[in-house]
Each structure stands twice: as C-alpha cells, then as structure tokens.
Amino acid sequence: MPIDPLKIREDFPILKRKVNGHPLIYLDNAASSQKPKQVIEAITMFYENHYANIHRGVHTLSQEASEAYEEAHAKVARFISANGSEEIVFVRNTTEAINLVAYSWALRQLKPGDEILTTLMEHHSNIVPWELLSQLKDIHVKYVGITKDGVLDYPEFEEKLSQRTKLVTVVHVSNVLGTINDVRRICRLAHEVGALVLVDGAQSVPHMPVSVKELDCDFLAFSGHKMLGPSGIGVLYAKKEILESMSPFLGGGGMISKVRFDTSTKKCKIDWNVLPWKFEAGTPNIEGGIGLGAAVDYLSSIGMEEVRRYEEELVSYALKRMSELEKIKIYGPSDPRMRGGVISFNLEGMSPHDVAMIMDQSGIAIRSGYHCAEPLHDAMGIHGGTARVSFYIYNTTSEIDIFINKLKEIEAII
C-alpha cells in the first residue's frame, strides 16, 4: 500500500514534541533516524521479561534471549537476501564493519604492491581505515573522482581498475550528494579482475530494496540507527566462504568453541566458533540486535519498494521548491531518480552552520558541516561545508513547505 506519512507518524513518539516552541520537523535522517514505538517496545519487552546473557546458560531466560538474538540475525539476512544468518555479523555500526574487513581480511590477504580502489565521495569511515592500512603494509589506495554533476566518473573507475586491484570499496548512496552508484556494474567489473567489493550501505539499506544476491557484492556494511533501530548495532554481511577464510577481528569469549592448554608445547590451542559467532566476541549488544530485528519487521511491513517510491516523491518535491530560491546552490544529481533522500546545499552569503542554527530556532533539524566527507567537499571546491536535509518515511510535503518558507526568510536577510 502507498505510504501514509500521517499514519506512520503516530508510531514515533518524539515527533509529538516541540523544539524552541515549534513542532519538531526532523530533517536529519541521513545522520540518524527516529525510532517507532514498536522498536522501543521490543527493547523494553526484552529488558522486562527476557533479559539474560546469550549462549551462556541452559536456563529459560538465557535460552529466550539467545533465540531472540539469533532470530534478529535471520531477519536481517532475509531483509538483504543473504543466504542465511551465518553471513550476518552484528557489530556496533558501519564503521566497525568496514574496520573488521580491513583488519581481518585486507591486512592478512593483501601483499606489497596491491591496490585498493575507492572514490572521492566516500564517508571518512570508508577512507581512514584504508589509509591506516596503507601505513601498515606497502599497499596503495587509489581514488576515483566525480563528474561536475556529482556522479561517479565511471570511465576513470575502469581506467584505474587493474589486476593489481584486490579490493574495491564504494558507497552505495552518497551521504552528501545523494548519488546512487551503480553497484552492480562496479561489482561486475571488479570481479572481472579478481577483486572483491565492499559496499557501504549506510544510506541505501534503510531507504531502498537492497539484495546482496542481485548486487553480487562480497561485503555490505550498514548501521541500525539509520534504519529506525537503536544505536550501537550494525551489520557486516559477507559471503560465507569469505567469512570462513577470515581470522577473527576480536578475541575473547563467545567467538571460540574450545581453548585448551597443551602441556607438551606449553601453548594454547584455540578452535573458532561457527559463523557468525566467530566474529562476535564478548557479550554483544543483545537488546540492540533485538531492536534492529524489530526495525526490520517495521520496514518490511511497509515494503522497501514503497519506502523508495515515497522518498523519491519527497526529494522531487523538495528540489522543485528549493529551485524557487535565488541564492541557493544545490549539489548532486538533478534527477530525483538518481539520488537518495539527501539534499546538500548552500545559501550564498551565509555559513551552513548559521543556516542550521536559524532553522533550529523554528524547530527544524538539519545538518551542517562536512558530513564526514571532507575530501568530497574539497573536490567540489566547497570550503566550510554544506547544509543538508534528508528525508524518511515520516516526513511530509507540508514539512518541506515550512522548511522552504524558512529558507526564503533567511535568503531575504542575506
């Protein structure tokens, strides 16, 4: 069924509050989304009725907690069309998922002279780990630029892709430009030269249908807090055969099946646990995983095709209304079909931070700054960052109208 944002808003308690005397208009969803009561209640239910450590005991509470946590893995696997929960590792966030790949796979697999190919539109989380890795090993990180329209330069990508490329790591949807990258094409080209592909899905998985089988990516990283779930929980998907070949990222309880001391060699022999627990050391964020499972249920009940369709409508409407301003510069593709629910912009003569502060005085929450993508801003010749609005299923065209009217007020005083 088509999305009814007014009905959906009833599920989000925070949207009933006021900020600085005005009804909250939350347009900072690319940074983090709000939480429906179904997610809040799932976490509360767990704490009040089922809380215990998982995989540790045979008593009822431990069994219930373990089953709920494991089922959350299964829900996520179905959500992204993975082959099973063995391919779903819970981590803290997208950043940790990318670092897990960097240190458990790349650090051990890459050899001197190997190359990692990425892009200038990446979040810092998909830049810094690879630059750190290049300091530990003699490997090279290469960057693909963007066109003047804010689209990935695919000819340059193909030119820089070579037999030396062992990993391509690319954002699915830019958190600044909103650009939707052709990940299927990127994966196909990368696999032709024997490279693996890591996709940063932080801005795509919450907002559109994502199937790892259709993309044929080797790794996919995303965060729960951007998709109606709690903070402190994220996901690394990886193909089963790759996870089986990798060594654990963290060592400790839960990620081993057996540890025994060999008296003859005076050493410990360690057997790793089965997937995915091999990569989930220590007591995990159990309630976070359960909350993420509830968020997946909520989004699934709506349908990700409908989520994408509705956000495209919002972006199209917002771009049309923003074009009414005379002193505005909008970044990224002009076609809403080519972008996610993100619009970054600047007003001539005013800092993006000042724009955001004035908006906040009217209860409108937007983002300002570099959005953890400073190299992208540098490549576009932008100094001081941008202002950014980003949408989700509970936003409305009437909220966009209020936002536009405020922009016009600001423009009038510049």
Strand partners, 90: 235
Q: Specify whether the CB–CB gap between 323 and 156 falls below 8 A.
A: no
Strand 386-390 to 367-369 pairing: antiparallel
Give Cα separations from 24 to 33, 139, 204, 321 (angstroms).
14, 48, 25, 20
Q: Specify whether the CB–CB gap between 167 and 198 falls below 8 A.
A: yes
Structure tokens at 378: 């540098």
Q: Specify whether the CB–CB gap between 88 and 284 falls below 8 A.
A: no
CA 172 to chain centroid, in Å, comes to: 9
DSSP class per residue in 253-279? TTSEEEEEEETTTTEEEEEEPPTTGGG
Rounded-to-integer distance, Cα 41 and Cα 21, Å: 28
Extract the runs of DSSP E, i.e. beta strands, from 128-264: 140-144, 165-171, 196-200, 219-223, 234-238, 256-262
The DSSP letter of residue 112 is: T
Give Cα separations from 292 to 87, 222, 263 (angstroms).
16, 12, 45
Give Cα separations from 200 to 66, 103, 108, 127 (angstroms).
28, 16, 21, 11
Q: Judge residue 295's burial from the number of C-beta atoms within 10 Å of its C-beta, 0-12 exposed, 13-18 middle, 19 or more buried.
A: buried
Active site residues: 372
SS3 340: coil
Q: Is the peptide bond before 276 cis (omega within 30 degrees of 0)?
A: yes
